[in-house]
Amino acid sequence: MLRTVEDALAAAYVRAFSPPGMVTVKLNTASGALDVTSRVRDASGSETVVFLPSEDFKRMAAQTAKHAVLRHIHDLERDKVLREVSEHRGELATGVIDRIEAGTVYIDLGRAEGVMPTEEQIPGEQLHPGRPVLVVILDPQRNHRQAQVRVSRGARSFVHRLMEAEVPEIKAGTVEVRALAREPGLRTKIAVYSIEPGLDPVGACVGPKGVRHRAILSELASEHVDIVPWSEDPEAFVAASLGPAKVESVSIDRSTRTATVMVPRTQLSLAIGRDGQNARLAAKLTGFRIDIKPSDSEPPAEHPANSAPHPRELAGAPEDAEAPA
């Protein structure tokens, strides 16, 4: 604290009097006396310490010291809040929207301010100042005025934490989220697995009469959430990932990580999904390229120009696989 005050006094002296050399201020905390010196070079090139007059400076020194102390305390409090926020990275937090500037939403989280840029929002969601909002904490941000933290509603981790909050079995560890793929505002696919024999992981996540599933959907507005069983058998996992479409068979080529899926012709559009969304998310969820074909021998009828393209163009590459956030 003393060093902070002395540095502030030195900077104030330079602004007020513009002396040559590097100014240093030493403060005697017992007497309050100020020693102001400047280190300058003389004609021989050696450095000389020169004492500078301080009588005229003392009048502004007290105010300068006061501001330096208050600023230092503010910085210490901000850094403490940032450390505390860092300990809650990845957790859910509730705040109230304070303002929206250039698309960025600023949220009052109490001691910290949440900053949610456009890319971390759910596309199409209407947010307004004064509205309570649930977010997931990402990481602290440096700001000279106050403690800020980057938050999100569009991240995969937001849905993962919602699942933990709504499904006690996930919180307890008897049901695990093994994979999660998301296109914010449109659709999310979640693969769950039970480590407890006899416990249906999908049923646990849906809840009695769908109450848990509806609670998650209500927080995500119009976004669809598909909950499917995870399996170490890739054929079974790929088939489940394409729900709600019914799959007849799956053939896996492990060398290319490609899954060829046969579905009834009546299920082809459902398996592909609008604009290829269902197939694309299934590919991200499983880590396989997914090629969807009708199970009968007739060539598929031509789709209208605004329909989904061929499934070979839809399913993501193996590197698209997404682990739970």
Task: Give CA–CA dist 252/289, Å, rounded.
Answer: 10
CATH 3.30.300.20 fits 161-230, yes or no: yes
CA pair distance 19, 17, nearest whole angstrom: 6
Residue ranges of the chain assigned to CATH 2.40.50.140: 92-152
Q: Which residues of the chain have pLDDT under 70?
A: 43, 62, 65-66, 69, 72, 74, 76, 78, 143-144, 297-325
Helices (H) and strands (E) in the chain, counts: 9, 14
State in words which class domain 92-152 has: mainly beta
| pLDDT tens, residue by residue, 148-162 | 899 999 999 999 999
What fold, for 240-325?
Answer: GMP Synthetase; Chain A, domain 3 (3.30.300)
What are the residue ranges of CATH 3.30.300.20 in the chain? 161-230, 240-325
The third-level CATH classification (topology) of the domain covering 2-86 is N Utilization Substance Protein A; Chain:P; domain 4 (3.30.1480)
Q: What is the pLDDT of residues 69-124, one digit of tens each?
A: 677 676 767 677 777 777 788 899 999 999 999 999 999 998 888 999 999 999 98
Distance CA 75, CA 97 (A): 24
What angle in degrees, to the nearest 10, is found between the helix axes of 277-286 and 234-241?
150
pLDDT at residue 316 in the model: 43
Q: Where, residue-wise, is CATH 3.30.1480.10 in the chain?
A: 2-86
Residue 13 to residue 23: CA distance in whole angstroms? 8
Residues ≥6 apart with Cβ < 8 Å to 2: 27, 29
Percent of the chain surpassing pLDDT 70: 86
Predicted pLDDT at 118: 96
